[in-house]
């Protein structure tokens, strides 16, 4: 019997006929790959499997994390190092959007390949929305989170550049996290402000991120997850619909959404424990974070313990 999330995604896509996924696919934690255009139409069997797994004591997921990976030798990198930890640490089921190719050698940056996957990502999200709308009873006790990491934000930002407002429903995701975003910091407000499918958007910043520091030098532009400024040190305009969190005072690097990358910081752990379970965080009253003024919005700086 397939797992809940395997069945969930196969079932969901049966209602949305897509033929545009030549360079993208979905992966679940057991390594199963789904080429969207090849999915079967065994709706009844899959629906029964979902109900059975949901009713099984303690086995049903209470949160779905839709994960868009970054640069690297994917999907192996995430299947080995990321997805198992996400599921174990946050009691969630993970579905990974895999864009290909995401690796062009140690010095390569697959920017154009990431941008080319944008239409596929939008189609996936539209399919997810249709499934939720057609089967609201499946989500009465399940939250959903969109986690976009590193160069996955290039896929996401390109998707939003051509995104028509209200194409997706407001409550599609309980939380959206742009983590260590390897996208241009400059003018990011133009695409972030178009995120209208969640009320709880978080953008992480860490000036000590070595991965993004190297990317900024090679791409000659500060990265969104690195510093909220231009290459010349000028403050950039922030989006007023997002929550900015700065982890620069904590000894972390790039993949700090996993507990192994959080340096044991209790504030960081508490923050991710909430948002990766689909629960918004009120940063104004969050112990361990202090607000400072930014250009158009506040930035919440997390303290080292």
Cβ proximity of 300 and 289 under 8 Å: yes
What is the CATH class of 58-302? alpha beta
Tokens read off for 288 = 């361990």
Q: Cβ of 31: how many Cβ atoms within 10 Å? A: 11
pTM of the predicted model, to two decimals?
A: 0.88
By CB atoms closer than 10 A (0-12, 13-18, 19+), residue 5 is: buried
| 75 cis-preceded (ω within 30 degrees of 0) | yes
Domain boundaries, the chain: 58-302
Cβ proximity of 215 and 185 under 8 Å: no
3-state secondary structure the chain: CCCHHHHHHHHHHCCCCCCCCCCEEEEECCCCEECHHHCCCCHHHHHHHHHHHHHCCCCCCCEEEEEECCCCCCCHHHHHHCHHHHHHHHCCEEEEEEECCCCCCCCCCCHHHHHHCHHHHHHHHHHHHHHHHHCHHHHCCCEEEEEEECCHHHHHHHHHHCCCCCCCCCCCCCEEEEECCCCECCCCHHHHCCCCCCCCEEEEECCCCHHHHHHHHHHCCCECCCCCECCCCCECCCCCCCEEEECCCCCCCCCCCCHHHCCCCHHHHHHHHHHCCCCCCCHHHCCCEEEEECCCCEEEEECCC
pLDDT of residue 55: 53
Q: Cα–Cα distance between 112 and 68 in angstroms, integer? A: 16
Rg, the chain, Cα only: 19
pLDDT tens over the chain, length 305 residues: 344 444 454 444 433 333 333 478 888 888 888 776 653 332 233 334 334 444 554 455 688 899 999 999 999 999 999 999 999 999 888 889 999 989 888 878 898 999 999 999 998 898 888 878 887 887 788 899 999 999 999 999 999 999 999 999 999 999 999 999 999 999 999 999 999 999 999 999 999 999 999 999 998 999 999 999 998 889 999 999 999 999 999 999 999 999 999 999 999 999 999 999 999 999 999 999 999 999 999 999 999 97
pLDDT of residue 27: 87
Q: Which residues of 11-21 are buried (b: 16+ CB within 10 A; e: fewer)?
A: bbbbebeeeeb
């Amino acid at each position: 019997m397939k797992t809940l999330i395997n069945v969930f995604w196969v079932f969901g896509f049966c209602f949305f006929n897509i033929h545009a996924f030549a360079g993208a696919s979905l992966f679940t934690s057991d390594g199963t790959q789904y080429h969207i255009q090849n999915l079967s139409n065994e709706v009844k069997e899959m629906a029964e499997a979902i109900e059975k797994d949901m009713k099984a004591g303690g086995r049903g997921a209470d949160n779905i994390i839709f994960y868009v990976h970054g640069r690297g030798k994917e999907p192996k990198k995430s299947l080995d190092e990321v997805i198992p930890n996400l599921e174990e640490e946050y009691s969630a089921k993970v579905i990974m959007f895999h864009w290909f190719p995401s690796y062009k050698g140690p010095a390569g940056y697959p920017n154009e390949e990431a941008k080319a996957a944008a239409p596929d990502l939008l189609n996936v999200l539209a399919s997810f929305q249709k499934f939720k709308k057609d089967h609201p009873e499946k989500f009465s006790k399940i939250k959903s989170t969109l986690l976009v990491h590193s160069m996955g934000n290039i896929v996401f930002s390109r998707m939003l550049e051509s995104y028509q407002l209200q194409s997706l429903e407001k409550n599609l995701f309980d939380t959206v996290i742009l983590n260590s975003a390897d996208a241009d910091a400059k003018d990011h407000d133009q695409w972030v402000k178009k995120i209208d499918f969640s009320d709880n958007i978080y953008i992480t910043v860490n000036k000590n991120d070595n991965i993004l520091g190297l990317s900024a030098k090679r791409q000659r532009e500060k990265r969104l997850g690195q510093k909220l400024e231009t290459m010349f040190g000028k403050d950039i305009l922030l989006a007023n619909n997002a929550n900015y969190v700065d982890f620069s005072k904590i000894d972390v690097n790039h993949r700090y959404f996993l507990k192994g990358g959080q340096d044991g910081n209790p504030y960081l752990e508490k923050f991710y424990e909430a948002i990766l379970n689909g629960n918004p965080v009120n940063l104004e009253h969050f112990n361990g974070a202090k607000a400072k003024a930014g250009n158009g919005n506040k930035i919440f700086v997390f303290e080292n313990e």
